[in-house]
Amino acid sequence: MRKVINLAKKLYYDKQIELSSNRVKTTWKIIKDITGKTQSPVTNIKIKSDAGILTNINDIAKAFNIYFTNIAEDLNNNSSNMAKAWQSLKRSYPESSSEMKLLLVTEIKVTDITKSLKHKNS
């Protein structure tokens, strides 16, 4: 009887995956359902920001968007920290060269190198 039940479950899940438009997502949903590891949405999120403590999901999303869209510019504008980091690096590695040379890389070079890489199956 157990074999019949397991076979019926297998056929049911195979059919769900076969009919799905997103097989990977459906497979993971089935795995989570079978193992009982479904997650309920987190509703008590608190994030500390410049505006204070945020608990509303939309406000948190906006704060993350603002942070990540401005982080590169903020880092570039904060050159004093960059100088401190460079001095610390030079103290840590005094025997290394005091110069760092960066080569210009074009989009064409990156594309050519990427195309030359061997494809791997993963």
Question: 56 and 79, same structural domain?
Answer: yes
The pLDDT assigned to 122 comes to 46
Domain co-membership, 52 together with 67: yes
Query: Do 52 and 90 lie in a common domain?
Result: yes
**Full residue range of the structural domain in which residue 67 is found:** 40-95
Beta strand 52-54 with 47-49 is antiparallel
**Strand stretches in the chain, DSSP E:** 47-49, 52-54
Token readout for 61 is 């999303």
* pLDDT digits 0-9 by tens, 55-109: 988 998 998 898 888 887 777 776 667 777 777 777 777 776 656 677 888 899 9
State whether 58 and 76 are in the same domain: yes
Overall number of domains in the chain: 2
Please write the tens of the pLDDT for every residue from 40-68.
777 788 888 888 899 988 998 998 898 88
Q: Which residue has the higher pLDDT, 4 or 102?
A: 4
Predicted pLDDT at 39: 72
